[in-house]
């Protein structure tokens, strides 16, 4: 009983799987039988396709009868479908001159059930059984004669034949492989052929291989070779006891009207959007790559370009291949293409272009082909590692692979690349240099000053290709006017940023007024210029790649609003580096272990991008472990400290609560910079910077004295008063009113943190 229940559940499970598959593929009903593909509309000229299919099946049937020398019901049914002959005419020919008992009954059956091939075939066979062996042999010869004398089909090729010829050239198919593909396509597309050749003769199974050899008229060695190669090409699914045509290849056969590129699966490398020299890759590296890929060799040469999206990999690859003398092609993939389709497109490209002096092939978005470790987890596909390794060792192949991630590529695959090149997102300094190059190439360098280029590089952290496209659009739209060019350029850049943001891209944070920021008036315990000098010297060490025992870890501590975060951003901009700002909400997680992983990722991303890592309000993350109440609080701090030890870059942390930091964390900071409330002179400086430009009324001596007396003011207080005025929530542009607002900000701090009483 238990066995029955278990079997029933398995059956129901498989039925559910078939139902789900039917929803994805309308041509497969739940009962598992493929819906028959009609040639009408799918392949073009239906009459020519139909004639080709029936003529091919006629040859199959002729070879089968010549080999078996016997006829059964299924054979007669298939004969009627192939020849389209009236069963009554066939019966007259078969029984001509034969004295068969009950021939009258046969004629009655044929008259009544002529539209039912099964009944007709059964009736003919029953009548033949009543005759002698010689009569049955004569009937078989007549049946073969009818097959041989079938009307010839039109000379013009059908659409299906044209598609087969195209795929023959594309994949380099030999006659045996082409015959096998044709056979599999017919039996999977036409029910009558499937009923006879598969269900009855079992030609697609191992036990039916002898029958398949006879039908295809090829020797066993050629069939074995065809099965092996088509299986490696992922054209067929070859199990232990069955062979079927893969869906992606079958779709190529029924593609209605492919474009020339779709027919081939690849195209010539398009013109480079950005010149090779504008990608920031060293000249020595470029020369090495050109020598590696410059000519076809006996060995395989594969190059891997990897890095995050938008780092210029594809643009560089196209520009590099355009410098070669040999033909260069790019494999085309549909966005939803399976790994099998991608492998087929690459194989066809190499097969059709790598003859003679050969070609160089670019495989963009190659993650799904190279990722052999987690293909099932990420995409629900099984990846053929053997196919990949075979391709990477194929003599004479030259392939440039572009991928975003290398984490899931196996070591055995990685070691087969002759060269690999990492691409990182352009730093702020890199973008400045790139802007200068691209503006010169677009004859627009005279339109922009150095500060304007610096501001563009900070405001638009885009890739080389994206900025080149924006410059090209501005040149086409603006004409020769500098003002119009700048306006059109901003429009294109803003549109690009919006598009990326809507797709989930996270733009680096920027502080309003960052371009006008100055350090004048800040109250620090370290000279800002000395801090800049130390950062510059460490930055030079990082850029030279000189070994260094640790990162430069800075701790900015002081009351809220004293300018800690703004100074960190200002220092990063001075180094021409981007800044990655992370807060507690970016790093901590409710899931066990995910917070530690977020910390590791934050440090690794900053190091890869060459960015300054700013951790704001670090006291919420590096709290004293002696005060921890949960183990995850301790492990989080441990991970943060471990990353501080191994990080190769510049780390700046800010805090208002230094006393709450873990003692081990404080020891790891190279330098601690203390920020304090503004001095009397600092009050005047920030008044002149933020408030004085909003009014024509000068600050009189009494106002100056009053402003100098106010304590506990920060740059943020002046910014808040300015912003309230801009929003209409503060008094008008009157210095006396602004001083009253600043005094209120100071009193608020005193109320929240009163001085301790003297005494016991």
Q: How much is the average pLDDT of 275-302? A: 89
25 pLDDT higher than 50: no
375 pLDDT higher than 70: no
Ranges of each domain in the chain: 266-372+384-422, 428-500, 528-674, 680-751
Confidence class of residue 249 from pLDDT cuts 50, 70 and 90? confident
543 pLDDT higher than 60: yes
Cβ neighbours of 593 (radius 10 Å): 12
List the structure tokens of 636. Answer: 């989080």
Lowest-confidence segment of 10-19, 77-86, 162-171, 593-602 by average pLDDT: 10-19
731 pLDDT higher than 80: no
Residues 631-642: tens digit of each pLDDT: 878 888 999 999
Q: How much is the average pLDDT of 69-92? A: 83
Higher pLDDT, 472 or 116: 472
* 610, 427 Cβ separation under 8 angstroms: yes
Task: Give the Cα separation of 742 and 733 in Å (integer).
Answer: 14
List the structure tokens of 624. Answer: 């004293």
Res 239: pLDDT: 74
DSSP string, 692-759: GGG-SS---HHHHHHHHH--S--HHHHHHHHHHHHTT-S--S-HHHHHHHHHHHHHHHHHHSPPPPS-
Higher pLDDT, 379 or 110: 110
Among candidate residues 254, 245, 179, the one with its CA nearest the CA of residue 218: 179
Confidence class of residue 257 from pLDDT cuts 50, 70 and 90? very low
Res 403: pLDDT: 92
Res 7: pLDDT: 44
Res 247: pLDDT: 79
H-helix or E-strand spanning residue 360: strand 360-363
Higher pLDDT, 562 or 458: 562
725 pLDDT higher than 70: yes
Kindly give the pairing relationship between strand 360-363 and strand 579-582: unpaired
| Percent of the chain at pLDDT exceeding 70 | 83
Q: How much is the average pLDDT of 513-521? A: 67
Which residue reads 């392939």 in tokens? 399
Count the alpha carbons within 13 Å of 226 in the hemisphere toward its beta carbon.
25
* 293, 400 Cβ separation under 8 angstroms: yes
Burial tier of 231 (Cβ tally within 10 Å: 0-12, 13-18, 19+): middle
Among candidate residues 79, 81, 59, the one with its CA nearest the CA of residue 71: 79
List the structure tokens of 234. Answer: 């992922």
Res 427: pLDDT: 74
Residues 208-229: tens digit of each pLDDT: 888 899 999 999 999 999 988 8
Task: Give the Cα separation of 520 and 517 in Å (integer).
Answer: 9
Kindly give the pairing relationship between strand 552-557 and strand 671-674: parallel
Cα separation values, 416 from 289, 308, 337, 388, 435, Å: 16, 22, 25, 10, 36
Lowest-confidence segment of 22-36, 169-183, 366-380, 538-552 by average pLDDT: 22-36
Among candidate residues 326, 365, 321, 318, the one with its CA nearest the CA of residue 345: 365
* 288, 385 Cβ separation under 8 angstroms: no
Identify the three-state secondary structure at position 401: strand
Confidence class of residue 260 from pLDDT cuts 50, 70 and 90? low
Identify the three-state secondary structure at position 422: strand
20 pLDDT higher than 60: no
* 194, 74 Cβ separation under 8 angstroms: no
| Rg of the Cα atoms in the chain | 39
Res 240: pLDDT: 63
Higher pLDDT, 503 or 21: 503
* 438, 467 Cβ separation under 8 angstroms: yes
Task: Give the Cα separation of 12 and 8 in Å (integer).
Answer: 6
Among candidate residues 345, 750, 350, the one with its CA nearest the CA of residue 559: 750
Among candidate residues 303, 423, 273, the one with its CA nearest the CA of residue 366: 303
19 pLDDT higher than 70: no
CATH 3.40.50.300: does it fit domain 266-372+384-422? yes
Q: How far is CA 285 from the centre of its chain?
A: 26
Q: How far apart are the first and last CA of the chain?
A: 87
727 pLDDT higher than 80: no
Residues 37-64: tens digit of each pLDDT: 443 334 444 788 888 898 999 999 989 8
Residues 675-687: tens digit of each pLDDT: 999 999 999 999 9
What letter would DSSP give residue 527?
A: -
Average pLDDT for the chain: 81
Confidence class of residue 542 from pLDDT cuts 50, 70 and 90? confident
Confidence class of residue 615 from pLDDT cuts 50, 70 and 90? very high
Task: Give the Cα separation of 219 and 126 in Å (integer).
Answer: 36
Identify the three-state secondary structure at position 49: helix
Task: Give the Cα separation of 509 and 499 in Å (integer).
Answer: 17
Which of 20-24, 323-327, 433-437 is the most confident on average? 323-327
- Three-state SS for 629-670 is CCHHHHHHHHHHHHHHHHCCCEEEEEECCHHHECHHHHHCCC
* 618, 585 Cβ separation under 8 angstroms: no
Among candidate residues 311, 321, 238, the one with its CA nearest the CA of residue 279: 311
- Residues with Cβ within 8 Å of 80's Cβ and at least 6 positions away in sequence, in order, are 87, 90, 117, 120, 121
Task: Give the Cα separation of 718 and 561 in Å (integer).
Answer: 10
Kindly give the pairing relationship between strand 579-582 and strand 671-674: unpaired
Q: At what angle do helices 73-83 and 117-129 cross, to 10 degrees?
A: 130
Task: Give the Cα separation of 726 and 737 in Å (integer).
Answer: 14
511 pLDDT higher than 60: no
Among candidate residues 454, 520, 530, 456, the one with its CA nearest the CA of residue 493: 456
List the structure tokens of 352. Answer: 């059709």
Task: Give the Cα separation of 359 and 346 in Å (integer).
Answer: 12
Higher pLDDT, 418 or 387: 418
Res 24: pLDDT: 38
What letter would DSSP give residue 428?
A: H
List the structure tokens of 295. Answer: 């000519």
362 pLDDT higher than 90: yes
- Residues with Cβ within 8 Å of 484's Cβ and at least 6 positions away in sequence, in order, are 477, 478
Residue 285: phi, psi to the nearest 5? -65, -40
* 364, 330 Cβ separation under 8 angstroms: yes
Fold of 528-674: Rossmann fold (3.40.50)
Binning the chain into helix, strand and coil, the percentages to the nearest 5 are 60, 10, 35
86 pLDDT higher than 90: no
331 pLDDT higher than 60: yes
* 648, 613 Cβ separation under 8 angstroms: no
Res 93: pLDDT: 79
Q: At what angle do helices 209-216 and 46-68 cross, to 10 degrees?
A: 120
What letter would DSSP give residue 115?
A: T
Cβ neighbours of 736 (radius 10 Å): 13
Cα separation values, 689 from 264, 524, 700, 731, 738, Å: 65, 18, 17, 19, 14
Among candidate residues 276, 251, 252, the one with its CA nearest the CA of residue 263: 252
pTM over 0.85: no
Among candidate residues 271, 274, 272, 314, the one with its CA nearest the CA of residue 441: 274
Kindly give the pairing relationship between strand 612-615 and strand 650-655: parallel
């Amino acid at each position: 009983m238990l066995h029955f229940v278990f079997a029933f559940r398995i059956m129901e499970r498989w039925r559910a799987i078939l139902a789900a598959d039917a929803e994805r593929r309308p041509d497969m009903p739940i009962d598992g039988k493929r819906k028959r593909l009609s040639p009408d509309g799918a392949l073009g000229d239906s009459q020519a396709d139909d004639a080709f299919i029936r003529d091919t099946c006629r040859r199959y049937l002729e070879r089968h009868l010549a080999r078996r020398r016997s006829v059964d019901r299924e054979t007669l049914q298939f004969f009627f479908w192939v020849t389209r002959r009236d069963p009554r005419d066939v019966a007259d020919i078969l029984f001509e001159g034969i004295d068969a008992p009950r021939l009258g009954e046969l004629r009655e059956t044929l008259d009544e059930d002529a539209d039912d091939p099964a009944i007709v075939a059964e009736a003919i066979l029953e009548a033949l059984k009543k005759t002698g062996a010689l009569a049955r042999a004569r009937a078989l010869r007549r049946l073969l004669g009818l097959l041989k004398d079938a009307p010839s089909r039109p000379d013009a090729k059908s659409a299906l034949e044209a598609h087969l010829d195209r795929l023959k050239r594309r994949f380099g198919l030999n006659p045996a492989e082409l015959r096998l593909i044709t056979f599999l396509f017919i039996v999977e597309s036409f029910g009558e052929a499937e009923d006879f050749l598969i269900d009855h003769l079992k030609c697609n199974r191992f036990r039916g291989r002898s029958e398949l050899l006879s039908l295809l008229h090829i020797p066993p060695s050629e069939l074995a070779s065809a099965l092996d190669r088509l299986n490696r090409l992922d054209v067929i699914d070859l199990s232990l006891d069955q062979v079927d045509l893969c869906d992606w290849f079958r779709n190529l056969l029924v593609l209605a009207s492919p474009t020339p590129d779709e027919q081939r699966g690849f195209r010539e490398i398009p013109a480079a959007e950005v010149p090779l020299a504008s990608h920031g890759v060293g000249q020595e590296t470029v020369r090495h790559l050109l020598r590696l890929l410059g000519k076809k060799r006996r060995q395989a040469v594969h190059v891997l370009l990897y890095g995050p999206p938008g780092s210029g990999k594809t643009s560089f690859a196209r520009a590099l291949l355009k410098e070669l003398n040999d033909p260069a092609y790019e494999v085309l993939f549909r966005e939803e293409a399976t790994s099998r389709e991608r492998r087929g497109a690459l194989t066809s490209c190499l097969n059709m272009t790598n003859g003679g002096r050969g070609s160089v092939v670019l495989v963009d978005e190659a993650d799904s082909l190279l990722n052999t470790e987690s293909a099932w987890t990420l995409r629900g596909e099984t990846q053929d590692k053997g196919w990949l390794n075979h391709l990477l060792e194929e003599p004479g192949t030259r392939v440039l692979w572009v991928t975003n991630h290398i984490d899931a590529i196996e070591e055995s695959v990685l070691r087969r690349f002759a060269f690999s090149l990492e691409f990182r997102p352009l730093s702020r300094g890199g973008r400045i240099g790139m802007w200068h190059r691209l503006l010169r190439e677009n004859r627009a360098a005279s339109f922009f000053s150095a500060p304007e280029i610096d501001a563009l590089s900070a405001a638009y952290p885009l890739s080389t290709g994206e900025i080149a496209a924006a410059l090209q659009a501005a040149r086409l739209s603006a004409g020769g006017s500098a003002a119009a060019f700048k306006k059109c350029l901003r429009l294109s850049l803003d549109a690009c940023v919006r598009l990326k943001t809507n797709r989930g891209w996270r733009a680096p944070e920027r502080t309003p007024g960052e371009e006008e920021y100055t350090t004048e008036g800040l109250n620090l315990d370290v000279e800002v210029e000395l801090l800049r000098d130390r950062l510059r010297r460490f930055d030079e060490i990082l850029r030279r790649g000189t070994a260094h025992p640790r990162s430069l870890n800075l701790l900015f501590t002081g009351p809220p609003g004293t300018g800690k975060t703004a100074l960190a951003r200002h220092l990063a901009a001075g180094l021409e580096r981007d800044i990655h700002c992370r807060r507690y909400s970016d790093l901590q997680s409710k899931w066990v272990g995910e917070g530690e992983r977020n910390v590791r990722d934050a440090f690794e991303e900053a190091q890869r991008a060459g960015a300054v890592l700013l951790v704001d309000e670090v006291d919420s993350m590096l709290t004293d472990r002696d005060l921890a109440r949960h183990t995850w609080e301790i492990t989080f701090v441990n991970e943060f400290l471990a990353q501080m030890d191994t990080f190769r870059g510049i780390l700046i942390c800010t805090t208002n609560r230094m006393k709450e930091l873990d003692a081990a964390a404080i020891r790891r900071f190279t330098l601690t910079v203390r920020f304090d409330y503004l001095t009397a002179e600092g009050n005047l400086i920030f008044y002149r910077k933020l408030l004085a430009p909003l009014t024509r009324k000068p600050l009189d001596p009494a106002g100056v004295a009053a402003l100098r007396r106010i304590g506990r003011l920060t740059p943020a207080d002046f910014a808040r008063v300015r912003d309230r005025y801009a929003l209409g929530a503060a008094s008008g542009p009157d210095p006396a009113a602004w001083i009253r607002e600043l005094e209120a900000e100071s009193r608020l701090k005193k109320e929240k943190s009163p001085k301790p009483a003297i005494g016991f």
